[in-house]
Chains A and B, each alone.
Chain A
């Protein structure tokens, strides 16, 4: 059982929940950019939510299946076609030997996930299969291995299907139907001028094309510190909003540096990161302030969709 890349995309990778325990020697955690869509695609085919999965950006890779598989595509809608016939997102799709999968256009969102029922066979490095420096290349072939023991069967019961459809809608709506991104002020929040604070909370921002797995650069009002100063480097994490000396904000993503010396003005909450990941550059969004309690309770609430 295997799947092969017949044409590589621009920056497609294999990702899982990431590589933790090595940031003290400078190794970025990596992992899914939009973990909610990745978990959703996994759960729909009956995989554990944190299974390895293909993460795709447009123009995305083209695949050929060497055996029958169950697959699912979640996250961004790049108009997937199986043998050039349109297929649905967020639903299990049966594919046959020699079927091909292409992605036609970036209709909605920026990062798409392709799950395959079973475990994608790839060498783990430091307990994670997440690609760090490499990406999917022409002719790469991955074996798909059945999970040991019981795997959750796709349910035939109507009520379970209805409940899954409800969860899919909750997640989709959360990621794609909101222009509000919430953050918790960071250690250098109070070093910003009052005008900058007001601008962050009142003016629209956009993601710029200069965005990748390391970080998303934002376009918006130029932000200023009360006094220009340099900070001793300290740890940063996914969601950290770094203010660059030129007044731009960069939001750190999965492949971020482990420590940084720019002003840390805030931290986008985990549950809202997928919204930013999927936000196309032409659509403005707004920032608002929240707190840890809200962030934790919404994160946990969203995770219940996968249980």
Chain B
């Protein structure tokens, strides 16, 4: 039996008594997104009754399992790795159909409350920061922190900046921020430490079960600047 595509060397470890974590070496690598999505879908489509949640991240895929239904989690995990390696197609990318989601952002300084200090620290004009942030196409690595919060990357190294040492008590819904190589949008009001550069008028998370998160893992995202007047006319978030 030949393993077709084995250079992603998945390993499994138990995470306590009700989770299994599959992992590859820790590295923020866009190439991992389609690999993890593929592994996620492979497990998801089996509709395994033992599995309650399948949670992707940068270099891990974590299963939450039902303790009453699964006795030997590591054997179960290693079987899944083996099956995945032998059953998948050579080209994982073909199974991943990602769309580009266009997201309007108003980079007005009333919303982009960290633009001024970033401009000084990065030695760039605000216009340059906006141009650099909005010219890339980002990809969603994973979601977490709060419902619908998508971790996207990679941010151009010229505008990478560490998060605030002391998080703000309240960041407004729709705020667009940067933390290191990542960019993301706060779906709702919350405490947060990311450097805020603007705000989108779009609703990022909707409780309607038919909608929920605007972004899924693997989606491509392009930000484009809009004026304050355009923001007001498009705004879907409550204040």
Contacts and interface: CB of A to CB of B under 8 A. Distances in A.
A24 B40 contact: yes
Q: How large is the interface on A (under 10, 10 to 19, 20 to 34, 35 or more residues)?
A: 35 or more
Contact of A235 (B57, B73, B216, B217): B57
A164 B53 CA distance: 33
Interface stretch (B18-26, B113-121, B125-133, B195-203): B18-26
A254 B26 CA distance: 27
Interface in A262-297: 264, 266-270, 292, 295-296
A259 B21 CA distance: 12
A195 B142 CA distance: 35
B53 A292 contact: no
Contact of B21 (A23, A231, A234): A234
B17 A269 contact: yes
B58 A232 contact: yes
Contacts, number: 129
Interface of A: 20-29, 125-126, 183-184, 186-187, 231-235, 237, 239-240, 257-260, 264, 266-270, 292, 295-296, 299-300, 303
A20 B17 CA distance: 17
Interface of B: 13-19, 21, 23, 26-28, 40, 52-60, 62, 64, 67-68, 71, 73, 142-149, 151, 207, 209, 212-213, 216-217
Interface of A is mostly: mixed
B145 A26 contact: yes
11 contacts: A20-B52, A25-B148, A25-B216, A29-B53, A29-B64, A125-B209, A235-B19, A235-B144, A258-B144, A266-B16, A300-B67
Contacts of B64: 20, 23, 29, 235, 237
- B16, B64, B143, B217: which has the most chain A beta carbons within 10 Å? B16
Nearest to A21: B53
A266 B142 CA distance: 23
Contact of A267 (B15, B55, B59, B68): B15
B145 A259 contact: yes
B16 A20 contact: no
Which 9 pairs, one residue from A and one from B, show the smallest C-beta to C-beta distance?
A267-B16, A259-B144, A235-B62, A295-B17, A235-B55, A234-B60, A20-B52, A25-B213, A234-B57
Contact of A184 (B17, B40, B56, B146): B17
Contacts of B13: 187
A235 B14 contact: no
A299 to B, nearest CB: 5
